[in-house]
Structure 1
């Protein structure tokens, strides 16, 4: 499909790691200790049993590629809408891939002109045939600008969720500015 579908996953992973930093264990962060943005729970589920301060960079990169790019299906989204796939990857890292997929599904459902362009789908947080068919139909009906509109919709849902998290748990206010500032990069 040419240049349009090329996403440099290694660059996306490097950007996340640069933004997340090396080791952190912020007392207000419910995720606990992290290294390169990988939480201890994710590292342990991946079979890592060492100290979080020593989680190897290559292991963190592999976790990002497998759990936050390939498994959620962003590679399949990337062949259709690469900028959207990059944002979904980033959203999935911050909020979980199922949340990111749910944002895409909600946006596609709301943008189908009352089901006239394609049917609504279940918002199940998984990128499967129905989501990909809806994305294909949306892009076919809306053209190249459609990807930008979907990107804005996903970012709007993400921003709303960050604000809600800070409102519901004041300790999250320590992170809100950074969460929103990350959206500018």
Structure 2
């Protein structure tokens, strides 16, 4: 654990974040060096500094670097108690906080620690678990795995996924090097890695409404076996009818059965996808 961790981590985070951005698919909106307009406005209000609009020339503002680092330290580093985290682990959690918010980053740390309570609050139990964890190299990898699963679940993955994946891989490599006492790689600029990744970009789980309608009343306990048995029972009374009537009735019954089976298949898929999405976003 070191108070110098912020100074070592900051150049890497700034390299990932890039300069000015205002991508229409980025929930962060107008951003400069990872500081969104919303975060900057809040900092200005709290500090008594006049608000300004972030732009490509923000880096030329007098005192910008000091303001930026002050925001980073208070908003992200201190929020995840970076000074209390082991080398390497501090970087993995800090970078995740910058990209997805402190609460989300702490959740990933808690899940990596396999804590029973995952609430995004860095309290006594979380700190004790960190201090008791003997393999910081493995902890960095586990945090990054949780983070990547979350990113892959977002609907903006198609747009920013390549940059995010490279960023997480770089964070893991550097974090594990620091956890092992090595120097690690130099800060790396990664195109498209600075887009904010928040739960508001998560897709809606697939609906089962259509499947439930296809299955019909009582379909909550329907299975493939019960559908087949229902078809048999429905066809049986028409065994003595004319061949044409039999063919027509059988065709209608089979068509209804196929719709029901399709509904069962879709409901299974939708519930499984929703469960995986909920797990990734937890």
In the superposition, the TM-score normalised over structure 1's length comes to 0.79
Supply the distance in 2 between the matched residues of 1:135 and 1:29 (Cα, whole angstroms).
32
Alignment of 1:184 onto 2:169: yes
SS in 1 for 2:29: coil
Partner of 1:99: 104
**Structure 2 unpaired stretches of 5+:** 171-282
2:8 to 6, 11, 16: 11
Supply the distance in 1 between the matched residues of 2:79 and 2:122 (Cα, whole angstroms).
9
Supply the distance in 2 between the matched residues of 1:21 and 1:137 (Cα, whole angstroms).
36
How much has 1:42 moved relative to structure 2?
0.8
In the superposition, the TM-score normalised over structure 2's length comes to 0.53
Alignment of 1:174 onto 2:163: no
Aligned residues, how many?
Answer: 159
How much has 1:17 moved relative to structure 2?
1.5
How much has 1:36 moved relative to structure 2?
0.5
In structure 2, the CA distance between the partners of 1:75 and 1:34, relative to structure 1 (3 Å rule), is same
1:21 and 1:37 in contact (8 A); partners too:
yes
**Structure 1 unpaired stretches of 5+:** 110-119, 140-145
Partner of 1:154: 143
1:91 and 1:100 in contact (8 A); partners too:
yes
How much has 1:13 moved relative to structure 2?
1.5
Q: For 1:19-168, list aligned pairs within 5 A.
A: 19-47=16-44, 49-53=51-55, 54=58, 56-77=64-85, 81-109=86-114, 120-139=115-134, 146-165=135-154
Supply the distance in 1 between the matched residues of 2:132 and 2:167 (Cα, whole angstroms).
30
Partner of 2:225: none
How much has 1:121 moved relative to structure 2?
4.3
How much has 1:6 moved relative to structure 2?
6.0
1:28 and 1:172 in contact (8 A); partners too:
no
Larger Rg: 2
2:112 and 2:143 in contact (8 A); partners too:
yes
1:91 and 1:158 in contact (8 A); partners too:
yes
SS in 2 for 1:127: coil
Deviations, residues 9-64 of structure 1 (Å, cap 9, x unaligned): 12312221222122111111111000011111111111261011136232111111
Supply the distance in 1 between the matched residues of 2:8 and 2:18 (Cα, whole angstroms).
15
Supply the distance in 1 between the matched residues of 2:169 and 2:113 (Cα, whole angstroms).
23
When the two chains are superposed, the root-mean-square deviation of aligned CA atoms in Å is 1.8
Q: Which moved more, 1:87-96 or 1:129-138?
A: 129-138
